[in-house]
Amino acid sequence: MQLPDFANVKLDNEIPVHLLNVGSQDLVRLQFSIPAGSIYQKQSLLAYFTNKMLKEGSSKYSAAQIAEKMDFYGAYFDVHSGRDYAYFTLFCLNKYLDPILEIIADILAHPLWPEKELQIIIQQEKQAFQIRNTKPKTISFRKFHQELFGEKHPYGSMASLSDYDQIKKEDLQAFFEVYYQPKNWHIFVSGKTSLATFDILNRHLGRLSSASVHLPESEIPKIGNKTADYFVERKDALQTALKMGELSISRKHEDYPIFSLAQTILGGFFGSRLMQNIREDKGYTYGIHSGIHHFKKASVFLISSEVGAKYADKALSEVKNELLRLRQEEVPESELQLVKNYIAGSLLKSLNGPFALGDMMRMLHENNLSKDYFTNYISAIQEASAKDIERIANKYLHEKDMISVLVGSKITEER
Interval 397-415: pLDDT, tens: 999 999 999 999 876 444 3
What is the band of 32 on the pLDDT scale with cuts at 50, 70, 90?
very high
The answer to whether 284 and 318 are in contact (CB under 8 A) is yes
Give the percent of the chain with pLDDT over 70: 94
Q: Give residue 168's pLDDT band: very low, low, confident or very high (50, 70, 90).
A: very high
With a cut of 90, say whether residue 103 has pLDDT above it.
Answer: yes
- CA-CA distance, 204 to 108, in Å (whole number)? 11
pLDDT in tens, 199-238: 999 999 999 987 766 666 655 555 655 677 899 998 888 8
pLDDT at 299: 95
Return the pLDDT at 242.
97
What pLDDT sits at residue 226?
62
Residue 1 above 80 pLDDT? no
By mean pLDDT, which of 56-60, 124-128, 211-215, 295-299 is the weakest?
A: 211-215
Q: Tell me the pLDDT tens digit for each residue of 284-302.
A: 999 999 999 999 999 999 9
DSSP 217: P
Predicted local confidence at residue 219, as pLDDT: 56
DSSP annotation of 91: E
CB burial string 187-213: b at 16+ within 10 A, e below: bbbbbbbeeebbebbbebbbebeeeee
Considering only residues 222 and 133, tell me which one the structure prediction assigns the higher pLDDT.
Answer: 133
Residues 311-323: what's their mean pLDDT? 95
The model's pTM: 0.92
Domains of the chain: 7-205 (3.30.830.10), 228-414 (3.30.830.10)
DSSP 215: P
Check pLDDT > 80 for residue 7: yes
Res 88 pLDDT > 90: yes
Return the minimum-mean-pLDDT range out of 45-54, 183-192, 349-358.
349-358
Mean pLDDT over 384-404 rounds to 96
pLDDT at 6: 83
d(Cα 331, Cα 389) in Å, to the nearest integer?
Answer: 8
- pLDDT value at 124 more than 50: yes
Q: Average the pLDDT over each of 61-65, 217-221, 382-386 and give the range with the smallest value.
A: 217-221
Residue 361 has pLDDT above 50, yes or no: yes
Q: Note the pLDDT of residue 413.
A: 45
Residue 124 belongs to what H/E stretch?
helix 115-132
Question: In terms of DSSP bridges, do strands 299-308 and 285-294 run parallel, antiparallel, or are they unpaired?
Answer: antiparallel
